[in-house]
């Protein structure tokens, strides 16, 4: 039987509060934190990521095209951040945990399988209410290609999470309190 790892990994849509909740957890638990958004490009480069191509894709076709390019690199970056930052609170960023290709999702599932505290942060249980809440934060409401719609509707986060915490109308400190209580119960 595989030993369970007690690191805390936060997943969820863009602007749900992963980074600020991670800071609160870090302060409260005295654990270091790392954000996937700070280190992922370095991991991408290990696999031949081309920053000029990424910029060109973004300029020509927008964020959705760039997202597709990043997806090829994400499973490796998830595997590496988990290997390199043991004992940390990890903020996975908005998209690193969502994969439309089954082989990529299965790699991320295998990487996260030993972790007991993969915490999905969502504003509400209702996806439409969550999207409306996040649209107010991001200003993305009404956009044809709203990445948070994809992040909320796709199955990835729901399959990866071991715990779900609802965040709307609550302070980051209260959310961190709930997470600490939940992981003590589950641990």
CB contact set of 86 (below 8 Å; sequence gap of 6+): 5, 7
Residue 164 domain boundaries = 5-36+86-186
In a domain, 70, yes or no: no
The answer to whether the CB of 167 falls within 8 A of the CB of 122 is yes
| Maximum C-alpha span of the chain | 49
Would residue 63 count as lying in a domain? no
Structurally, how many domains does the chain consist of? 1
pLDDT at 184: 81
- Mean pLDDT for 83-96 is 94
Q: How far apart are CA 18 and CA 26, in angstroms?
A: 12
What percentage of residues in the chain have a pLDDT greater than 90? 81
pLDDT at position 2:
63
Residue 71 included in any domain: no
Residue 58 lies in a domain: no
In percent, how much of the chain has pLDDT > 70? 97
Residue 11 lies inside a defined structural domain of this protein: yes
Here the CATH number for the domain that contains residue 100 is 3.40.50.300
Using one digit for the tens of pLDDT, what is the confidence trace for 109-145? 999 999 999 999 999 999 999 999 999 998 888 777 7
Model pLDDT, residue 63: 81
Per-residue model confidence (pLDDT) at position 4: 81
Tell me the per-residue pLDDT of 14-44, one tens digit each, with 9 for 90 and over.
999 999 999 999 999 999 999 999 999 999 9
Residue 79 domain-assigned?
Answer: no
CA 107 – CA 113 distance, rounded (Å): 10
d(Cα 107, Cα 117) in Å, to the nearest integer?
A: 18
Residue-level pLDDT at 142: 73
Domain-embedded: residue 144: yes
What token pair was written down for 17?
A: 């509060």
- 69 domain residue, yes or no: no
Place of tokens 């003590």: 184
Q: What is the pTM of this model?
A: 0.94
> Residue 56: pLDDT above 60?
yes
């Amino acid at each position: 039987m595989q030993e369970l790892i007690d690191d805390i990994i936060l997943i969820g849509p863009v602007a749900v509060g992963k980074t600020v909740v991670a800071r609160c957890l870090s302060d409260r638990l005295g654990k270091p934190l790392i954000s996937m958004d700070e280190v992922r490009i370095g991991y991408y480069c290990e696999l031949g990521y081309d920053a000029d191509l990424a910029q060109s894709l973004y300029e020509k076709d927008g964020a959705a095209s760039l997202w597709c390019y990043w997806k090829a690199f994400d499973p490796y970056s998830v595997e590496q951040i988990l290997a390199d930052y043991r004992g940390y609170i990890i903020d996975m960023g908005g998209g690193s945990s969502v994969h439309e290709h089954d082989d990529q999702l299965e790699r991320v599932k295998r990487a996260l399988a030993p972790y007991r505290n993969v915490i999905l942060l969502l504003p509400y249980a209702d996806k439409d209410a969550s999207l409306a809440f996040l649209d107010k934060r991001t200003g993305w409401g009404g956009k044809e290609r709203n990445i948070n719609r994809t992040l909320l509707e796709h199955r990835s986060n729901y399959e990866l999470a071991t715990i779900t915490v609802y965040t709307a109308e609550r302070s980051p400190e209260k959310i961190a309190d709930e997470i600490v209580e939940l992981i003590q119960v589950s641990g």
